[in-house]
A = this chain, B = another copy of it.
Amino acid sequence: MINRLAVIGVGLIGASLALALKQAAVVGHVVGCGRSEKNLQKGIELGVIDSYTTSIAEAVKAADVVMLAVPLGAMQMAFEQIADSVGEHTIITDAGSAKGSVVKIAQTVLGNKISQFVPGHPIAGAEKSGVEAGLAGLYQNRRVILTPIESTDPEAVGKIVDMWQQCGAIIEYLDIEHHDKVLAATSHLPHMLAYALVNYLSNLNDHDEIFKYAAGGFRDFTRIASSDPVMWRDVCISNGDALEAFIEGFKAELDEVSQAIRIRDSDRLLELFSTAKSERDTLIGNC
């Protein structure tokens, strides 16, 4: 049971957490915090939060748990305000999709309150954003990766594990570097490819016609290019080294395809596509 939950950043991730905990009846009062009063007001209307404030210091006061669900670029400012006002029994966690940069900020800013911080990342999301996008079932059967560090209080970890499990999530542990590498590969890289593809086609002369003939496969493939640009800018800044390496690696793999096309190497093309199909069907399921 969480008596008082403070959600800093009431967007898709924060709103869905609040809704899931309310549905499970394991949270008392949810206080929302953000910059846009309009969004927070909407959160009240939708029953996502019970009260709100635009002051982080105010929000975290007397909270059992603070969920930081702001874009990575806002973490520094948020941690600074938390550090000054958070009580010693409050547990802080986050939902940032890169963990190295967040933990570094937390270590610098929180001082000895670092033990109260449980770094986390729910592997869930959508290309929709804002409080209206919140879904009580968003975390059902989804993985939440926790990346506690040596100084993290094990009891705090236990409390956050319990919170996510109440939302139906599956808990996994990874070290920070590994998390950032895995996410660069499966999430950050594909987003870059989708953004680049849409921009590339948009810049062609006959782009209206080109998009007109786009079929379902193209829609699926580029769906993630409708994701929040601010969030993804921040991911690039926070996890840039890992991401850049993966982009280079991907380009080399694409060159393999390109080279096989250039010399019309049927056997090689069939091999490349058969391997990919079989890997995807096996590892992800044919869905």
What residues of chain B lie closer than 8 Å to A201, measured between beta carbons? 185-186
Copies in the assembly, this chain:
2
Stretch at the interface among A7-15, A53-61, A225-233: A225-233
Nearest B residue to A128, CB-CB = B286
Q: Mark A191-207, 1 if CB is under 8 A from B, else 0.
A: 11111111111111011
A256 at interface by CB-CB < 8 Å: yes
**Complex Cα gap A194–B218 (Å):** 11
**Complex Cα gap A117–B197 (Å):** 35
User: Which of B229, B257, B262, B280 touches A273 (beta carbons < 8 Å)?
Assistant: B229
**Complex Cα gap A283–B208 (Å):** 8
**Complex Cα gap A269–B234 (Å):** 9
List the interface of chain A (C-beta within 8 A of B): 73, 123-128, 142-143, 145, 172, 182-183, 185-187, 189-204, 206-230, 232-233, 236-237, 240, 243-244, 247-251, 253-254, 256-258, 260-262, 264, 266, 269-270, 272-277, 279-281, 283-284, 286-287
Question: Can you identify 30 A-B contacts, CB atoms within 8 angstroms?
Answer: A123-B213, A125-B217, A142-B215, A143-B213, A182-B206, A182-B213, A186-B213, A193-B193, A193-B254, A195-B273, A196-B253, A196-B257, A196-B276, A199-B253, A199-B256, A202-B279, A202-B283, A214-B284, A217-B227, A219-B284, A219-B287, A220-B224, A226-B277, A226-B280, A233-B269, A240-B261, A244-B262, A247-B254, A247-B261, A251-B254
Known interface pairs A182-B209, A192-B258, A214-B284; 18 further A-B residue pairs with C-beta atoms within 8 A, sorted by A's residue number: A123-B215, A125-B215, A182-B206, A186-B201, A187-B215, A192-B257, A196-B253, A196-B276, A197-B250, A199-B256, A199-B272, A202-B275, A202-B276, A202-B279, A221-B224, A226-B281, A227-B277, A229-B276
